[in-house]
Amino acid sequence: MRFYYNLLYRIVWPFFCLVHPIRSIGRENIPEGGAVFCANHSALADPLMVCFAATLRWHIRPMAKIELSRVPLVGWLLGKAGVIYVDRGHADVKAVKEALTCLKAGGKMLVFPEGTRVHDGEDVSAKGGAALFATRTGVPIIPVYVSRKKYWFRRSPVIIGKPITPKIAGRKATSEELEKIMNDVMEQIYRLGESA
């Protein structure tokens, strides 16, 4: 899996950074071991921007809609590189198990909590999946702000915030606790954007 990730990274990175170079801020906040990266989402390029901001040192496994897996060759390659495909129309137990296994093994995942691309003026509630993964495995959540404006031929900021360790009262988080955790995470993400 890491072989395909490194291969795709090295192929795509030079071309991507030529037209949409990245200014990575806060990379020192990335911890060793498992973590759930949570980012805002406004464009198709966002997963690439987060992965490139973290550099090739970290293998980040994005979660993506299952429709992407059906794109000839691209879907297969991304799956080989570690993308976790999610069937958003159903309770995708397979994707949840794969995500939990990844985190328990010390891996890093990328989740877009709003579940879809969100543009200026839109208000979309964050889903609780990322908080569920973090509370089930004991890993921190890393808030990441990706610039809504993708500049051509000049750097667009990607800001990586400090790890957040979710707190819950019992052994398993309630739906209310998951909702509160994700509201706090999204608030932190957009607060990072205000400093860009």
Give kind and range of the element (H or E) at residue 86: strand 84-86
Could you say which residues of the chain have pLDDT below 70?
Answer: 121, 196
The reported pTM is 0.92
31 and 163 Cβ atoms separated by less than 8 Å: yes
2-194 is classed CATH 3.40.1130.10: yes
Segments making up each domain of the chain, as ranges: 2-194
**Tokens describing residue 62:** 């994005």
**Model pLDDT, residue 181:** 96
Residues with Cβ within 8 Å of 145's Cβ and at least 6 positions away in sequence, in order, are: 39, 40, 157, 158, 159, 161, 189, 190, 192, 193, 196
How many whole angstroms separate alpha carbon 118 and alpha carbon 43?
A: 8
Residues with Cβ within 8 Å of 27's Cβ and at least 6 positions away in sequence, in order, are: 53, 54, 55, 160
3-55 pLDDT per residue, tens: 999 999 999 999 999 999 999 999 999 999 999 999 999 999 999 999 999 99
